[in-house]
Amino acid sequence: MEFRILGTGSATPQLQRNPSAFVVTIDNFLILIDCGEGTQYRLLEHKVKISRLRYILISHLHGDHYFGLIGLLSTLNMQKRTEPLVIYGPNGLDEIIGLQLKYSGTILNFKLNFSVTNPTGFNEILNTETIQIKTFPLKHRIDCTGFLLTKKKYKRKILADKLPENFPATFYKMLQEGHDVVDEFSGITYINDEYTTEGCPEKRLAYCSDTIYDETIVDYIKNVDLLYHEATFLAEHAERAKLTFHTTAAQAASIAQKANVKRLLIGHFSSRYKTIEDFLTEARAVFSDTTLSEEGENFIF
């Protein structure tokens, strides 16, 4: 699983930091999480192949998290996309996009499927052979959801060079599933450990968009491999964070510590701060394995 950062800023425009947008790569397809203004330019800049985009997740309807969506959809259309695209997002997003398409006279070449997220509870929105995605509630000024993405454990990897030619396909499947195989015709038993190796383990990513400090999310994100959590303010502006339903760097680190995550990534920095080194200092005082979001950086885990 790969997690690429396309934007590290918050709502007020900043020349050095773009609004929220992140790309998750799983096997040969992409998932876009949030889509702030200009996201398609960031995708171009970092040579992300948008033809591989399969799902879009929108956390909430504040502009710095979705204003880039209509532009991206228009570009996909001009590129003659025909494959369906699924967007998971808050109630009303389908209406907003529908009106923009209607009044611009745009007819999409591809099917656009909207799925409304539930801003309460822990809800599964997608479950395939490769990935599971769940939503959980965040406490912001409007309905907002976090996302938990689980890349499922791969089946065992077969050491094909050790197997005879014309090895039956059904036997391959049995080995992948961890079974020993007995060939009744030859009398040979293929011991699984001798002909396979472990597949890639399960990996989990939690994405916490805009939210006030809220310990109730800990149960949803326990032990994840990577936690992205907003950290709009420093502790000196904790009252401002509370008033605007945002989080400080120290509070984000506290959530990471309580959830026993492996690694914390903080972002969504307020434009009031001209440098962000203090965010790292503040967060690491609470949770040592903290990293600052940097534009274009890619985390592989």
- Residue 99 sits in a domain of what CATH number? 3.60.15.10
Residue 7 CA, chain-centre distance (Å), reads 13
In this predicted structure, what is the pLDDT of residue 78?
97
- The reply to whether 83 and 184 lie within a common domain is no
For 131, the token pair is 């990935």
- 140 CB neighbour count, 10 Å cutoff: 21
Overall domain count for the chain: 2
Could you tell me the residue range of the domain that residue 107 belongs to? Answer: 2-154+200-300
Using CA atoms, how far residue 156 sits from 115, 149, 194, 195, in Å, is 33, 21, 12, 10
Same domain assignment for residues 144 and 272:
yes
Could you tell me if 186 and 59 lie in one domain? no
Instruction: Evaluate whether 136 touches 119 at the Cβ level (below 8 Å).
Output: no
Active centre residues (catalytic)? 64
The string of pLDDT tens digits covering residues 187-242 is 788 888 888 888 788 999 999 999 999 999 999 999 999 999 999 999 999 999 99
CA–CA distance, 56 with 61 (Å, rounded to integer): 14
Q: What is the distance between the alpha carbons of residues 185 and 273, in angstroms, rounded to a whole number?
A: 73
Is residue 8 domain-shared with residue 150, that is, in the same domain? Answer: yes
Dump pLDDT digits (tens) for 94-109. Answer: 999 999 999 999 999 9
Q: Give the residue among 197, 118, 203 at the shortest CA–CA distance from 157.
A: 197
**29-63, pLDDT tens digit by residue?**
999 999 999 999 999 999 999 999 999 999 999 99
